[in-house]
Amino acid sequence: MNRQRHPAHGRRRFLMGAAAAGISLKLPAGAFAADGEVNFYNWDTYIGETTLEEFEAATGIEVQYDLFADNAELFAKLRGGNPGYDVIVPSNDYVEQMRMADLLLPLDHAKIPNIENVDPLFMDPAFDPGRTFSLPYMWGTIGIGYRKSAVDAAPDSWSDLLASDRYAGRIALMSEPTTVLQLAMKTRGHSLNDWTDENLAEAEALLIAQKPRITAFAPDNGQDLLLAGEVDLAMEWNGDILQVMEEDDDIGYVLPKEGSIVWEDTLAIPVGAKNVENAHALIDFLLGAEVGAGIADYVQYATPNAAAKALMSEEYRTNPAIYPSEAAMEASETSVFPGQERMRAIDEAWTRVKAAG
Amino acid sequence: MDDARRRPLAFAAFGLPVLLWLGLFFVVPLGIVFLYSVGENVSITRIETTWTLDNYARITDPVILGLLWRSLWLAGVATLICLVVGLPMALVIATSSPGAKPWLLLAIMLPFWTNLLIRTYALLNILGTRGRLNDALGWLHARARALLEMFGLDGLGLLAERFVPLTMLGTPSGVIYGIVYVSLPFAILPIYSSLERMDKSLLEASLDLGAGQWTTVRRVLVPLALPGILTAALITFIPALGQFLTPDLLGRGQVDMIANVIERQFKKANDWPFGSALSLLLLYVTFILLALRAFGDAARANRPDRARGLPA
């Protein structure tokens, strides 16, 4: 610092600077009475492009938006105490896990009038009877994304991915232990929630045998590998494949004949949320008909919001990649939380699969 | 700066914040991890310290031991490559002109300032089956074939008919390459600083006295640079052991290392006690290496002066 520039005002300038810094510090949430803020913790690219701006304009509530990569990260963040989130987006099996750990606040349905928009089919699932702790956000399936020009016929079975050598060296699986083992069990004809030791061992053996033919265990970027031509078949969430289908006509999506996992992402409020009122307001907004339609249009997943679905285009409502056929839905199942003890067996089986070869 | 013994109060004044920081942000969290490692899950979210050794016992599972061995092996090979590549590079920088030196150092340091994830994704772009490297090799292959055809030599089987792209991703080589790429700046700097302080005239003296180039390197340069080389080895090996990003991305999930297992325990498996035990295992390995290094330093300090490169 050049002494001659600031001769006697050193201390005064410092105090002024400190005062300025102090004023610019964030004032507590209650300072702006009716508005305030809400802390929204969501998956990446899982909301409409302008949804949150519309919410802020409609209610005056400021949204602090944070992203997480998967349910396990969400759970790990919350299990030691809520670090300050008001609305979270757990999947169905993690809603169960969080309920068991008493991490969710019961929702006040009276504060969520748009609950009427939800399709009655979704209002009483096994993982959250009466929807006490969560409300549905999006749902979808897991299937096979494939490059049409690289296959002679569209793959129609999980065995194409998990048991056959037809596409050896051109296959990507997900890096999700539970999901992959469940689908391996389905390939062998078992229910994907039937975690007996024999079924688990069978699934593990199937995967270890298939491992030399697998190119990659992709952590949520299987669709990128497919798009780049590194693989021809990828196990992925339907919305992810739909997104790359927009960029490349040569890519297709199929739900194998054995059926698949039907998953549901939900909106919930964790215990310890500081802005419970605003959290309910956000959930209510997201369940609106037009807002829901806007979100579905952008993320290209199936919406459980009947009012929003009615506003969507014909193309969206009849897209078999988004809304599978009756037969496919019949054969598919929802994943149930296996329990902590089974989770350990699953992890050990997965470690063996990953370490093999 | 005065000796700490002569000015104990000053030493305490400067040392206390550092010790407090170390205690609060290093010792305490590690203590908590240790308590987890001898505990067990009593519910989905609570761990109770029951002083059980079950978690450590699980480490003896052959699969875990196999992964540990593979991690030690991959980290070791990567460290060796870093040293073999880093020593000449450090030598070049240390013996370069004062004008060129800062630029060369900048060239080495610049990757430091880029995020690890971005650098790893860049490697994905380069090493893929349709990545830049294979593109370049394919182009060379096509030119070579064209050349052979021009001279009518293409039927002799000198060059393969079709170019088979190198598969680097999803293999241990790809992972090693990734670790080397990420660790090389860490390896070069300590060796460089050691060489910088070395008396260059000793090398000249050795050459004058009749030792060849290679003998000079082997018997004068390396022993003098040894402290730097050992530091470089430690700085490269220990983080390499704990890599999970490189195996996941460059290994395409096919080349699991021990840190991948640890990461899974804290996330998908929700088994923090086991994850803590594995983490502490890596820490114990680190402490052993550091202790060996310290003993080595002490032993060398007690040897006669001749071995330290000073005149007898």
- CA separation for the pair A139, A308 (Å, rounded): 14
Residue B122: CB atoms within 10 Å = 14
Determine the distance in angstroms separating the CA of B267 from the nearest CA of chain A, rounded to an integer.
5
Query: Cβ of B222: how many Cβ atoms within 10 Å?
Result: 12
User: Least CB-CB distance to B270: which of A176, A340, A351?
Assistant: A340
Q: In Å, what is the CA distance from A163 to each residue of A59, A184, A214, B43, B63? A: 53, 9, 10, 37, 23
Tokens of B205: 């003296």
pLDDT at A60 over 90: yes
The answer to whether A76 contacts B44, with C-beta atoms less than 8 Å apart, is no
Asked if the domains at A34-139+263-317 and A140-262+323-355 fall in one CATH topology, the answer is yes
Scan residues 199-238 of A and list those with Cβ closer than 8 Å to B.
Answer: 211, 214-219, 228-230
Q: Dihedral of the CA atoms A175, A223, A135, A318 (nearest 10)?
A: -140
So what's the pLDDT on residue A143?
Answer: 94
**Beta-bridge partner residues of A302:** A139
pLDDT value at position A114?
Answer: 95
Q: Do B253 and A347 touch (CB under 8 A)?
A: no
Please answer yes or no on whether B260 and A100 come within 8 Å at the CB atom: no
Q: Mean of the pLDDT values across residues A242-259?
A: 91
Please give, rounded to a whole number of angstroms, the shortest distance from the CA of A103 to a CA of chain B.
10
Q: Return d(Cα B304, Cα A237) in angstroms, integer.
A: 68
DSSP 8-class letter at B119: H
The verdict on domain A34-139+263-317 having CATH code 3.40.190.10 is: yes
Q: What pLDDT was estimated at residue B40?
A: 92
pLDDT at B3: 67
What is this structure's pTM? 0.84
Contact A144, A235 (CB under 8 A): yes
Going residue by residue through chain B, which has 312 residues, state the pLDDT in tens, using 9 for 90 and above. Answer: 556 677 888 888 888 999 999 999 999 999 999 999 999 998 888 899 999 999 999 999 999 999 999 999 999 999 999 999 999 999 999 989 999 999 999 998 888 888 888 888 889 889 888 888 999 999 998 888 888 888 877 667 667 778 888 888 889 999 999 999 999 999 999 999 999 888 888 888 998 998 888 888 888 888 889 989 999 999 999 999 999 999 999 999 999 999 999 999 999 999 999 999 999 999 998 999 989 888 888 887 777 655 555 554
pLDDT band at A83 (very low <50, low <70, confident <90, very high): very high
ipTM exceeds 0.95: no
Kind and range of the H or E run holding A234 = strand A233-237
Instruction: Name the residue among B130, B260, B268 with its Cβ closest to that of A229.
Output: B130
* Cα–Cα distance measured from residue B145 to residue B155, given in angstroms and rounded to the nearest whole number: 10
**Residue from B68, B270, B271, B274 whose CB has the most chain A CBs within 10 Å, to mutate:** B270
* Tokens linked to B157: 């089987």
Alpha-carbon torsion (A145, A149, A154, A155), positive or negative: negative
In chain A, what percentage of residues exceed pLDDT 90? 73
Chain A residues with CB-CB distance to B165 below 8 A:
none
pLDDT at B145: 86
**DSSP-derived 3-state class of residue B16:** helix
**pLDDT bracket for residue A10 (50, 70, 90):** low
Indicate the range of A19-33, A96-110, B131-145 predicted with least confidence: A19-33
Please tell me the predicted confidence (pLDDT) of residue A261: 94
Q: How confident is the model at residue A7 (pLDDT cuts 50, 70, 90)?
A: very low
Is residue A73 within 8 angstroms of chain B, CB to CB? Answer: yes
Q: Parallel, antiparallel, or unpaired: how do β-strands A261-268 and A233-237 relate? A: unpaired
Give yes or no for A355 touching B (CB within 8 A).
Answer: yes
The whole-number pLDDT of residue A6 equals: 44
Size of interface A-B (CB pairs under 8 A): 83
User: Nearest by CB to B43, which of A70, A80, A101?
Assistant: A101
Residues of B in contact with A340 (CB under 8 A): 41, 44, 270
Question: How many residues comprise chain A?
Answer: 357
How is chain B split into domains, by residue range? Answer: 70-129+167-308
Please determine, looking at this structure, whether the domain spanning A140-262+323-355 carries the CATH number 3.40.50.1010.
no
CA atoms within a 13 Å half-sphere pointing along the CA-CB vector of B254:
24
Nearest Cα neighbor of B133 from B177, B75, B179, B176 is B177
Q: What is the mean pLDDT of chain A?
A: 89
Q: What is residue A4's predicted lDDT score, i.e. its pLDDT?
A: 42
Band of residue A286 on the pLDDT scale cut at 50, 70, 90: very high
Domain residue spans of chain A:
34-139+263-317, 140-262+323-355
Fold entry, domain B70-129+167-308: MetI-like fold (1.10.3720)
pLDDT the model gives residue A11: 64
* B119 CB-side CA count, 13 A: 18
How far apart are the C-alpha atoms of A7 and A215, rounded to whole Å? Answer: 68
Q: Is the pLDDT of residue A40 over 50?
A: yes
